[in-house]
């Protein structure tokens, strides 16, 4: 699956996007965050306060318990500040 | 501009139906649920105009474009968000999520069209580097009467602030930069439009 990062999440991770293949036991957004956080110190810093990170699955906002099944694009970002 | 008070609701619905920009075959995605208990939506829903762009926009030109050739619009409400020069701010840099941004704004605008009897709706949101004084976001809503135009305009900007994937970074004259944090009052403003709350 493709993972996208925006704003300070992107800065901390160090890349704007990456392809990942999490193991089958990673089933939901919270599980993916825990798995990604172990990939590098940058990932760990980005997800250190996971409650401040929002997610989208295939361009729709998703909660931590949202299942990943069938998802092709997951995005992580801070709470939005547009308008 | 506000419509004369004497016009009846029946007239309004007929005018809206005559303006039939309704997209084909769209229903059942939850918008109907939100609309329950609010007000009858006319048969013809408008298709909102949504643009996400770096370029500036012109309020007068967009208003004129929305109203061109129309005689069914009694009220046109507008909101323009501008870049403020707080604390020596040199520029705001707006990052967004291409693809999701357009989807999210279109979804919010379609909700506005489902919840209020709108005869026109335009949302333009800029991204990129914007200096103090620059316009950031434009919301235009048109209806037969003022209440629908004003309320839906407020709804749109409240929900854009909390549901459209943009992130503002502040750049200061000395070279410092920081990400703008989401504000609790913006969440509260958006929450008042939740179904059953407004």
CATH number of the domain that residue A67 is part of: 3.10.20.30
Tell me if B3 is assigned to some domain: no
> For residue B73, what pLDDT is reported?
96
The domain tally of chain B equals 1
Are B100 and A59 a contacting pair at CB < 8 A? yes
- A9 located within any domain: yes
Which among A61, A75, A78 has CB closest to B179? Answer: A78
Domain span at A57: 2-77
Q: Which residue of B has its CA nearest to A56?
A: B100
Tell me whether residue B33 is in a domain: yes
What average pLDDT score do residues B126-138 get?
Answer: 98
Per residue in A12-71, pLDDT tens? 999 999 999 999 999 999 999 999 999 999 999 999 988 999 999 999 999 999 999 999
Give me the number of domains chain A comprises. 1
B163 CB neighbour count, 10 Å cutoff = 17
- The predicted pLDDT at position B197 comes to 64
Residue A34 within a domain: yes
Does residue B21 belong to any structural domain of this protein? yes
Is residue B128 assigned to a domain? yes
Does A83 fall in a domain? no
In a domain? residue A25: yes
Tell which residue, B166, B137, B163, B186, has the closest CA to residue A82: B166
- Whole-model pTM? 0.82
Complex-level ipTM: 0.96
CB B169 within 8 A of CB B92: yes
Taking CA–CA distances from B183, the nearest residue in chain A reads: A81
> How close does chain A come to B4, measured CA to CA in Å?
32
pLDDT in tens, B39-76: 334 456 789 999 999 999 999 999 999 999 999 999 99
Contact B54, B127 (CB under 8 A): yes
* pLDDT score of B102 more than 80: yes
- Looking at residue B169, which CATH number applies to its domain? 3.90.1170.40
pLDDT at B27: 36
- Of A8, A75, A81, Cβ closest to residue B97: A75
- Asked if the structure places residue B1 within a domain, the reply is no
DSSP string, B154-193: HHHHHHHHHHS-EEEEEEETTS-EEEPPP-HHHHHHHHTT
Quote the domain boundaries for residue B33.
Answer: 9-191
The answer to whether the CB atoms of B180 and A81 lie below 8 A apart is: yes
Determine, yes or no, domain membership for A21.
yes
Q: Each residue of B171-187: pLDDT tens digit?
A: 999 899 999 999 999 99
Residue pair B97/A75 in contact by the 8 Å Cβ criterion? yes
pLDDT confidence bin for B14, thresholds 50/70/90: very low
Can you give the pLDDT at residue B55?
A: 98
Question: Would you call A52 an interface residue with chain B, using a CB distance cutoff of 8 Å?
Answer: no
């Amino acid at each position: 699956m493709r993972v996208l990062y925006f704003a300070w999440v992107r800065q901390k991770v160090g890349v704007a996007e990456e392809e990942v293949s999490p193991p089958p036991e990673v089933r939901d957004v919270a599980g993916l965050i825990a798995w990604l956080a172990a990939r590098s110190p940058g990932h760990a810093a980005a997800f250190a306060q996971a409650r401040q990170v929002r997610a989208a699955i295939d361009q729709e906002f998703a909660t931590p318990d949202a299942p990943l099944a069938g998802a092709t694009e997951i995005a992580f970002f801070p709470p939005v500040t547009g308008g | 501009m506000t419509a004369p008070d004497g016009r009846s609701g029946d007239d309004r619905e007929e005018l809206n139906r005559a303006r039939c920009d309704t997209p084909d075959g769209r229903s059942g995605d939850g918008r109907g649920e939100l609309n329950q208990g609010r007000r009858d939506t006319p048969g013809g829903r408008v298709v909102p105009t949504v643009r996400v762009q770096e370029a500036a926009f012109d309020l007068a030109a967009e208003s004129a474009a929305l109203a061109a050739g129309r005689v069914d619009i009694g009220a046109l409400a507008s909101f323009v968000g501008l870049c403020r020069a707080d604390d020596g701010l040199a520029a705001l840099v707006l990052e967004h999520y291409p693809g999701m941004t357009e989807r999210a704004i279109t979804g919010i605008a379609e909700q506005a069209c489902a919840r209020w009897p709108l005869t026109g709706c335009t949302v333009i949101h800029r991204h990129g580097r914007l200096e103090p004084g620059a316009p950031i976001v434009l919301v235009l809503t048109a209806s037969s009467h003022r209440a629908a135009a004003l309320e839906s305009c407020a709804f749109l900007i409240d929900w854009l602030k909390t549901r459209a994937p943009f992130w503002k970074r502040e750049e200061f004259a000395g070279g410092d930069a920081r990400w703008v944090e989401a504000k609790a009052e913006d969440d509260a403003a958006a929450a008042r439009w939740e179904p059953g709350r407004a």
